[in-house]
Structure 1
Amino acid sequence: MQKYFEESLQYYNPKASLVEENAKMLIPESHELHVGPSACARRLSIGAYRRHAEDRITNLYITEEDIISGSYEDIIPDAVEDLLELLEKRPRVIILYVTCIDDLLGTDHEALLMLLKQRFQDIRFITCHVDPIVMDRSIKPGMKMLEQLYSVLEKSDLREKSINLVGNKFPLSDKSEFRRIINSVGWKIKEMNACKTFDEYNEMGKSSLNVVVDPIAKYAAEHMERALDIPFLLTYNSYDLDIIEENYKKIFMTIDEKMPKLRSYQDNTKKQINDTVKYLKNIPIVIDNGAVSRSIPLARALDKYGFNVKLVFDGTIIFSDVEDLEWLRENRPDIKIADGRNFNIMNMKNNLGDCLCIGFSSGYTLGAKHIVERLPSCLAFGYDGVDLLMDFIICAYDTVIDYEKIREQSEAWKYKSIK
């Protein structure tokens, strides 16, 4: 795909946000074994403590001797044996996470998985890469990781009246009209993050449709269609009311059910949008892809509603957003789209004056007073997602952010978690 930004020295601001998303979406009754040098494991361990998930993760440190001698792969089965003796409950799935050094060593993962499955026949094993080196490839680590997480599902000859949400990092909000609408026609929604047990998670293999809510999950859905015979729809989470309606039409056409009327949801959301636009008094809006996975379509939607969108930080344009990017460039050239990773971005500080940033990264870079830190991925699908965004925007407008307080609270995990 065309590259829209030149590669350059990159700037990363201090990650001082209070809440860190658990993007790995742990499978119920699973355990992660991270295999790599101790330096790589340090960051992973800190993240585990911050999410209070330290009991779900174990590190296997490999040394220079392991790498040079070629015994890297040989120590993993014995390490799994030791791990199982230490764990209070035997996991149903063990996820082996390997770092970028694995690409240099050329590990034969198929052979390794076969050996592990023969030795521990009651446990399912998968491998995932934590590898920033390959972020420029067409199949990125996050896409492959999702495919692997769903690969443990068993194929079923039964087909239930249920829909899998594929690609959401958090369970769908109970307030979402999507859940109510689907339940009203006798169908139900299944999600990885909502499952409490592995058996419940495995029931997703009986669903009749996969609804893909994030572009990163398209690769996983394609593999699920081949392996599990479950068709999929690309209905990416959107903040555009017209696209939301089209997504609903596609879903109900596919499940062959009459779609309930959406007018009341549409009218309520339109009113909340109009009220929010008036409340903000034309304050400049900045969006970055650290807050939402699809910042370009969000910018187009907010501009359509009358928000004063001025700037978008997004240096990783994905296939699903090219149409919106080209539309903005042709029809709204005044909306600047910049690579938020470029070191020159620091020169834009305070250029917009008082502004509201959707995303902590852009807010920190520009020194903004008003910030929506992040939008939880698919916490709310459909019209409720737009309503939630409006609530976040108004809350941010009414609040002047205290960067020092955020940094203090962000560091407090190390005192609260270890006692």
Structure 2
Amino acid sequence: MLHGKAKDEQWNNQIKEKLSPSLQEEIPFQDAAWPLPFVPGLEYNSPAHGTWNIVHMGMLLPGSHQIYVCGANCNRGVILTAAEMNAGDRFSFVEIKEEDLFNGQMEDLVIEGVSDILHKLPKKPSVVLLFTVCVHHFMGCDLAYIYDTLRSRFPEQCFVDCYMDPIMQKEGLTPDQKLRNALYKPLPMREKNLKQINIIGNDFPTREETELKTIAKAAGYTVKDITECEGYEEYLSMSESFLNIACYPLAKYGAEQLSKRLGMKFLYLPFSFHYDEINAQLKSLVKEMPGAVMPDTSLLRKRCERILQETKELVGDTKITIDATVVPRLLGLTRLLISHGFSVERIFTDAFSAEEKEDYLWLKENAPNLKVCATIHPNMRVYPRNPQEKILAIGQKAAYFSGTEHFVNMVEGGGLHGYDGICELCQKIQQAYQTKKDTKDLVVRKGLGCESCI
């Protein structure tokens, strides 16, 4: 009998023999290949921009200043992001021109450009997030020399190596994962406070009502989160926590690295839609926190079931669409709703999460006609967006592609977690069903939750 990796490889090979990625933009779930249902190629970028990018994430670090070293075309996007969120005073750039690629002075360009920016700032930042790009990889640029020189010139500033290198998007760590790691590099080694824990790598504060927070605070623990730090000193106090918790998949790597570097314990507790997994997560949390008490999960489960039933009674057979930007586990949410009688008609995603193989198999068996629709396929630019009936969308891209004003305006889990997260999401679904939103105005704003000047 095969176990572990060998069993996974055998299963993957069997699936590959049966299914191949589709050239079409929409397919039934029974034909969806694992883990990539669509053939990669030319990509379309929809106007739904609520997900956070590296500029938004960088602004979470109090007292930081971002500097990008790249060509004008790459600079355009990040400059506009900083401008839209009215954060231009915390953002600068050094422009690379064509001659800089051949004159052998790239290192000097970066060093002198960054030095000039810092000398001209009215107040020097505590942290400099310095973003290098793809071209620096191509040229074999001596980044170590650049950072050593800058640190010697500006000993009071903390320089953090950051990357805007989309060439790495398909293999290895993505720029998103790298930045969620880099944001915690300034944290120094400090004596540990056994009554303080961190939530690492989120873009949104975790809801106070989540079991994660209520268990910790009831037992007298302080919960630190970069999204809630008022200043640089409070941010540095995260070094004193004895336990790091990652709830967002793309934050797992960074939380693991921080835990190893500073000698902290680590738990990965993703937002799950399976009651048994939530129970296991809560048990592991309580185990790591002396004095914490396990809640009565049977009552929490009953509350979820009651609110799910109330939500189903309200929306009835209204067709539902969901996209992959709303929660990290799209298939888990889809399975939860379908298993409770909701009429989920279509999901929008370009890939399936490696964490959701079990849900993938369940949906293939129990929802073979569920439509899987790409979001970056070129044909999506002319995808029909004029429904003849009411559609309830969960997520911005689902709302845009479905052409509906009834949608849950949330990205990246929205700070939800555990049983409370399921209940709160149901409340959002009810509100979306009952209330229209201005989809065209809302989805084009970059970085949901950030300030927007448009």
TM-score (norm 1): 0.89
Match of 2:161 in 1: 127
Structure 2 CA distance for partners of 1:409 and 1:250, relative to 1, 3 Å: closer
Quote how far apart the aligned CAs of 1:32 are. Answer: 0.4
1:331 alignment partner, one of 332, 352, 366: 366
Quote how far apart the aligned CAs of 1:95 are. Answer: 0.4
Quote how far apart the aligned CAs of 1:332 are. Answer: 2.6
Structure 2 CA distance for partners of 1:404 and 1:171, relative to 1, 3 Å: closer
8 Å contact kept, 2:68–2:132 = yes
8 Å contact kept, 1:265–1:383 = yes
8 Å contact kept, 1:98–1:128 = yes
Match of 2:435 in 1: 399
Q: What is the alpha-carbon distance in structure 1 between the residues aligned to residue 156 and residue 78 of structure 2?
A: 27
Structure 2 CA distance for partners of 1:327 and 1:107, relative to 1, 3 Å: farther
Match of 2:124 in 1: 90
Match of 1:29 in 2: 63
2:407 alignment partner, one of 360, 371, 380: 371
Match of 2:222 in 1: 188
Q: What is the alpha-carbon distance in structure 1 between the residues aligned to residue 151 and residue 243 of structure 2?
A: 30
Q: What is the alpha-carbon distance in structure 2 between the residues aligned to residue 409 and residue 193 of structure 1?
A: 20
8 Å contact kept, 1:215–1:320 = no
Q: What is the alpha-carbon distance in structure 1 between the residues aligned to residue 363 and residue 120 of structure 2?
A: 55
Q: What is the alpha-carbon distance in structure 1 between the residues aligned to residue 264 and residue 343 of structure 2?
A: 42
SS state of the match for residue 27, structure 1? Answer: coil
Superposed CA offset, 1:162-206 (max 9, x none): 221112101223344432221111212111111122222122222
Match of 1:76 in 2: 110
Match of 1:178 in 2: 212
Match of 1:13 in 2: 46
Match of 1:356 in 2: 392
Q: In percent, how many aligned pairs have the same letter?
A: 29
SS state of the match for residue 194, structure 2? Answer: coil
Q: What is the alpha-carbon distance in structure 2 between the residues aligned to residue 409 and residue 67 of structure 1?
A: 35
Gaps of 5+ in 1: 411-415
SS state of the match for residue 346, structure 2? Answer: strand
* Residue type at the aligned position of 1:235: L
Q: What is the alpha-carbon distance in structure 2 between the residues aligned to residue 405 and residue 166 of structure 1?
A: 31
SS state of the match for residue 69, structure 1? Answer: coil
Match of 1:381 in 2: 417
Match of 2:377 in 1: 342
8 Å contact kept, 1:169–1:377 = no
* Residue type at the aligned position of 1:238: S
Quote how far apart the aligned CAs of 1:111 are. Answer: 2.4
SS state of the match for residue 137, structure 1? Answer: coil
Q: What is the alpha-carbon distance in structure 1 between the residues aligned to residue 100 and residue 75 of structure 2?
A: 16
Gaps of 5+ in 2: 1-11, 13-33, 447-451
TM-score (norm 2): 0.82
1:118 alignment partner, one of 149, 152, 157: 152
Match of 1:312 in 2: 347
SS state of the match for residue 156, structure 1? Answer: coil
Higher relative contact order, chain-length normalized (CA < 8 Å, sep 6+): 2
2:323 alignment partner, one of 282, 288, 313: 288
Match of 1:4 in 2: 36
- Number of corresponding residues: 412
1:279 alignment partner, one of 307, 314, 324: 314
Q: What is the alpha-carbon distance in structure 1 between the residues aligned to residue 437 and residue 139 of structure 2?
A: 46
* Residue type at the aligned position of 1:290: T
339-348 vs 49-58, greater mean Cα deviation: 339-348
SS state of the match for residue 208, structure 1? Answer: strand
The alignment status of 1:224 with 2:258, answered yes or no, reads yes
Q: What is the alpha-carbon distance in structure 2 between the residues aligned to residue 25 and residue 324 of structure 1?
A: 35
SS state of the match for residue 183, structure 2? Answer: helix
* Residue type at the aligned position of 1:12: N
2:95 alignment partner, one of 43, 46, 61: 61
> CA RMSD for the aligned pairs?
2.7
SS state of the match for residue 160, structure 1? Answer: strand
Q: What is the alpha-carbon distance in structure 2 between the residues aligned to residue 102 and residue 381 of structure 1?
A: 39
SS state of the match for residue 101, structure 1? Answer: helix
Q: What is the alpha-carbon distance in structure 2 between the residues aligned to residue 110 and residue 261 of structure 1?
A: 53
Quote how far apart the aligned CAs of 1:281 are. Answer: 0.9
256-265 vs 133-142, greater mean Cα deviation: 256-265
Quote how far apart the aligned CAs of 1:36 are. Answer: 0.8
